[in-house]
Amino acid sequence: DQQVKQNSPSLSVQEGRISILNCDYTNSMFDYFLWYKKYPAEGPTFLISISSIKDKNEDGRFTVFLNKSAKHLSLHIVPSQPGDSAVYFCAASQYSGGGADGLTFGKGTHLIIQP
Amino acid sequence: DTGVSQDPRHKITKRGQNVTFRCDPISEHNRLYWYRQTLGQGPEFLTYFQNEAQLEKSRLLSDRFSAERPKGSFSTLEIQRTEQGDSAMYLCASSFGGTFGGINEKLFFGSGTQLSVL
């Protein structure tokens, strides 16, 4: 049972345009969401996060939107650059849980920025 | 900032052998995590330490797997009697978090150890 779903295994976007990566979750207890970026042969690196008390968080070219009622979040990258080509993982956790089930990751979306 | 360091980067072993991986977290981080990633999947949580205490273990962590963090600094993950299904990337991550509360802070990952069991 996948609690965090990234339904697009890959996405191709032209350089300079907007990249939109989507993520859905099923566990209503999740209250903190993160995006990680991964290059080949490297570990994932943190990109941006959002708490469930917000619906938007922005950091430079990266914006994450959260729609709690739809259990959906998205990552917008504007403008897309060649260095953004990587695998992007959506992850979720329970801040208030007290336990440490760790982050629950989606399967990732491979973003390819075309010149 | 030296980041999270994992050793070795690659390990090839025969089925039935034991393997041990090492992780050195970022020095001021009190929390250390082990994740496993197989091809086409996202990282899956295995276990977590706060300082030297192992606080959580996933049901993915069979009794052939054991992790330690003896002095609250580096950690080792040992797999006994390896099976072909253990072939995966083993990722270590660290973070700095408070004593109480859930785990939501951003994690800093190492580059992983790629295990191949023949």
Supply φ then ψ for residue A89, to 5 degrees: -110, 135
Distance CA A44, CA A102 (A): 15
pLDDT in tens, B44-84: 999 989 889 888 888 878 899 999 999 889 999 999 999 99
Confidence of residue B99 (pLDDT cuts 50, 70, 90): low
pLDDT-based confidence at residue A94 (cuts at 50, 70, 90): confident
Mutate to test the interface with A, among B34, B50, B106 (most CBs of A within 10 A): B106
Roughly how many angstroms between the first and final C-alpha of chain B, as a whole number?
36
Chain B partners within 8 Å of A94 (Cβ):
102, 104
Question: Across-strand partners of B92?
Answer: B34
Report which listed range, A26-35, A40-49, B77-86, B99-108, is most confident: B77-86
Tokens representing residue A44 in the block: 């994932």
Residues of B in contact with A97 (CB under 8 A): 102-103
Q: How confident is the model at residue B101 (pLDDT cuts 50, 70, 90)?
A: very low
Closest residue on chain B to A49 (Cα): B106
Closest partner CB to A95 (pick from B101, B110, B112): B101
Residue A99 to residues A93, A115, B98: CA-CA distances in angstroms? Answer: 10, 45, 13
Whether B114 and B10 have beta carbons less than 8 Å apart is answered as yes
The alpha carbon of residue B75 is apart from the nearest alpha carbon of chain A, in Å, by: 17
Q: Which two tokens stand for residue B57?
A: 């273990």
Q: Is A44 in contact with B109 (Cβ distance < 8 A)?
A: yes
Dump pLDDT digits (tens) for A43-93: 999 999 999 999 999 999 999 999 999 999 999 999 999 999 999 999 998
Least Cα separation, residue A15 to chain B (angstroms)? 25
Residues of chain A positioned with their CB less than 8 A from the CB of B100: 98
